[in-house]
Chains A and B, each alone.
Chain A
Amino acid sequence: MFTAWTQIFKRDLLIAFRRRSEIIHPIIFFVMVISLFPLAIGDDKVLLQKIAPAIIWVTALLATMLSLDTLFRSDFEDGSLEQMTLLKTPLSMLVTAKIMAHWVITGLPLILITPLLAVLLYMPSESISMLLLTLLLGTPTLSLIGAVGIALTVGLRQGGVILSLLILPLYIPVLIFATLALQNVEQGFSAEAQLAMMLAILVLAITLSPFAIAAALKVSLN
């Protein structure tokens, strides 16, 4: 069971490293959108500092959503997804390998580049570590939830717009808790409760969403 899992995980990483542009594009998108805000608002240090967590989180949300488009697309088109459903290993296990690989490729670089962008938006250093923590807890959840939407829309021609309709409402609890945690830290309170909630949502997403994803893929392959 785990050999198939690691095989798929390695395969997806390998494919991604052969096509590096797919890793880099979401990052460039992330950096560009964030740098648009200071340009639009003006160099207002107080205001930027205040809304920096919101800007970074909303942009991260959009970048994750856009990058998810590639998650099942190529496997769906060349038929390897159908082959995966025929394996002995349950599809719900295999999709976790794909999502994990996808998160390593797109989510992790996003987190790594965030400190740089946070400095650009004048965030204080104690908030930056909290920002990274919320992103570390939040982006896997975003990938898991988004994968459900992608699995439902993978066969559709105009999937992109519908995808955002489907999954953005589901993203909002994560967004709320993450930004609340950052607000608490800024005001000198503890953010433990929010972090615990984010962890709880992540655990819930890990346990439940693979089944939804597998079921949705089977409907799409129909």
Chain B
Amino acid sequence: MGLFAILFVYGLYSGLILAPIDYEQGEAYRIIFVHVPAAWMSLFIYMVMAITGAIALIWRLKLAEIVMISCAPIGASFTFLALVTGSIWGKPMWNTWWVWDARLTSELLLLFLYFGVMALYNAIEDRRTAARAVAILALVGVVNIPVIHYSVEWWNTLHQGPTVTKFDKPSIHLSMLIPLLVMAVAFKLYFIGSLFMRVRTELLAREQKSKWVTALLESK
């Protein structure tokens, strides 16, 4: 978490102040340093959720179930952040808060998928059954991830194409790429940190009657 704070501050500083002004988009492009990492995270966390879900289904690991479930609210918040910053960015660039563009729509769908996961988990009484049901749902939802990723090529709409790869033109300048990557790493660290906190809480809540938890509580 400490490392996150350092990288986050550095990333924000270099992104908002050091990076040069974009000649087409002006100052407004700077929201990229929050928007793009948040959008990456929204997909990444879903993948983590699905993979831990598969692990939970195959090996019936209790910890994998807890990690999977703890991913959902964090992922939903990143998706929401990506949508909000995207719409703030869209206002000066496209002169509209929202377009029914493929990427925006799939990001919104991703948010709905996260909501579905959380709703299903809360609807089933038994925690372990709930986790297994959610794991199946998450794996089914993974089918949606490629649709999101390739939607740019498929629909080719208002949303600008990805510019982060260094191999294609138009590509991003190094002075903008570095803060972007720093922010991405910072977000990832934040995810790991908050995930561990959530997992710890959930684990303690589930095992509150077991011996090691009572021993832990007494020792404090």
Contacts and interface: CB of A to CB of B under 8 A. Distances in A.
Interface string B111-155: 011011001100110100100110011011101100100000000
Contacts of A24: none
A34 to B, nearest CB: 23
Interface in A139-184: 145, 148, 152-153, 155-156, 158-159, 162, 165-166, 168-170, 172-173
Interface of A: 145, 148, 152-153, 155-156, 158-159, 162, 165-166, 168-170, 172-173, 204, 208-209, 212, 215-216, 219-220, 222
Contact of B113 (A158, A169, A173, A219): A169
Contacts of B133: 152, 216, 219-220
Q: Is the interface of A mostly helix, strand, loop or mixed?
A: helix
Given A152-B137, A212-B140, A158 B123 contact: yes
Contact of A166 (B109, B119, B132, B139): B119
Contact of A152 (B57, B112, B120, B144): B120
Contacts, number: 61
A162 B123 CA distance: 8
Interface of B: 57, 105, 109, 112-113, 115-116, 119-120, 123-124, 126, 129, 132-133, 136-137, 139-141, 143-144, 147
Contacts of B126: 222
A156 B124 CA distance: 7
27 contacts: A148-B136, A148-B137, A152-B136, A153-B120, A156-B123, A159-B123, A162-B116, A162-B119, A162-B120, A162-B123, A165-B115, A165-B116, A166-B116, A166-B119, A166-B120, A166-B137, A169-B113, A169-B116, A170-B140, A170-B143, A172-B105, A172-B109, A204-B143, A209-B140, A219-B129, A219-B133, A222-B132
B109 A169 contact: yes
A129 to B, nearest CB: 25
A153 B137 CA distance: 11
A153 B123 contact: yes
A120 B57 CA distance: 49
A75 to B, nearest CB: 18
Contacts of B136: 148, 152, 212, 215-216, 219
A165 B147 contact: no
Contact of B129 (A158, A159, A222): A222
Contacts of B140: 145, 148, 170, 209, 212
A170 B124 contact: no
B12 to A, nearest CB: 32
Contacts of A204: 143
B123 A219 contact: no
Contacts of A222: 126, 129, 132
